Amino acid sequence: MIVILKQKASQEEVAKLTKQLEAKGVIVNPVIGTEKSILGLVGDTTKIDPSSIEANGIVERVMKVQEPFKKANRMFHPEPTIVDVNGVKIGGNKIAMIAGPCSVESEEQITDIAKEVKDIGANFLRGGAFKPRTSPYAFQGLKYEGLELLKKARENTGLPIVTELMSPYDIETFVENVDVIQVGARNMQNFDLLKELGKIDKPILLKRGLSATIEEWLMSAEYIMAGGNENVILCERGIRTFETYTRNTLDLSAIPAVKKLSHLPVVVDPSHSAGKYWMVEPLAKAAIAVGADGLIIEVHNDPANALCDGPQSIKPNKFAKLMEELKVIAAAVGREI
């Protein structure tokens, strides 16, 4: 961190500020020039809030030279993290395929779709039991019954289940019953929830917030990791932009960015990015081409009558065709599906 001082700063004032900064556990290296003077802070600056230094009258500006996230940072953990979900891995050479409906609707629906996606080659089953809907009048999910149905589908297929947790009250239930806990875009900055998830060791799929920067997203991962849970999988699911043609704008550039900044695996959700079923295929291909470690795709056997997100859901036959085509893209970038 670099502190740029105002020209008028007196020696006494600089000495006082230096003492204050040293008290925060960093080494202060002063560079006193004729025009400008700067203080270079070396050491663990994670606990120093730049704006509190800027509140000092002799400080012109504070510049960060390092990212504020440590545990999620590739600098301190050069090897990519592979999250092991009961033997099925996310990260590494093999691309993880997570597929299933937006919501669990009935036993028949979830078990039928689970069998189909399993036969096609999916490694995980997705399905929401607790749904974060924009309208309080929309279908809110089957909740605990939905979790039971997901477990039946897992029994039938062996596929590990990925499902969204909305409340800290349900953490124990999720730890007992699911394989990967999804934190939805709307909860990416629910810091109390993230802190609680840091206390468990269940893998967490952390979706990027609707308008979150890459740094904010990684700071949310840091919240979970700081508590001791390092099993975090990032998920790019599109962000809000001025464009309204698509539901969100898939930020493809976030994938190489996150892979450079962090060692955590990153998966892409082309379904919520596009909001349109026919865009899932090209976006999924693009995601693999830019280095995604996996995909999470909404697959429904009757999209026209789906209780949630039918317009962005693909049918199993489309998913099967996509899987075949993705194998070619994966091979071209040295990966396998």
Binding site for ligand PEP (CB under 6 A): 102, 128, 132, 184-186, 207, 237, 269, 272
If one asks whether residue 26 binds Mn ion (CB under 5 A), the answer comes out as no
Nearer to ligand PEP, 91 or 270 (CB): 270
Helix (H) and strand (E) counts for the chain? 11, 14
Output the six-digit token pair for 237. Answer: 């699911």
User: Pick from Mn ion, ligand PEP, none: which does 259 bind, CB < 5 to 8 A by kind?
Assistant: none
Give least dist CB 66 to ligand PEP, A.
Answer: 29
| Total number of residues that touch Mn ion (CB under 5 A) | 2
- Asked if residue 83 lies in contact with residue 91, where contact means CB atoms within 8 angstroms, the answer is yes
> Is 311 strand, coil or helix?
helix
Query: Which residue's beta carbon is nearest to the bound Mn ion?
Result: 102
Cα dist from 329 to 160, 228, 257, 289, 295, whole Å: 25, 36, 20, 6, 13
What does 185 interact with, of ligand PEP, Mn ion, none (CB < 5 to 8 A by kind)?
ligand PEP
Please, which residue, 236 or 309, has the CB nearer to Mn ion?
309
Rounded (10°) angle between helices 107-120 and 143-157: 40
Per CB under 5 A, the segment of 96-104, 114-122, 223-231, 253-261 that binds Mn ion is 96-104
Q: Which is nearer to ligand PEP, 67 or 236 (CB)?
A: 236
Select from 102, 322, 323, 326 the one that contacts Mn ion (CB under 5 A): 102
Provide the mask over 280-309, with x wherever binding to Mn ion is found by CB under 5 A and - wherever it is not: -----------------------------x
Q: Which does 237 bind (CB under 5 to 8 A by kind): ligand PEP, Mn ion, none?
A: ligand PEP
Q: Which does 285 bind (CB under 5 to 8 A by kind): Mn ion, ligand PEP, none?
A: none
* Helices of type H across the chain: 11-22, 50-54, 107-120, 143-157, 171-177, 191-197, 214-226, 254-261, 270-274, 277-289, 316-332
Q: 310 phi and psi, to 5 degrees?
A: -55, -45
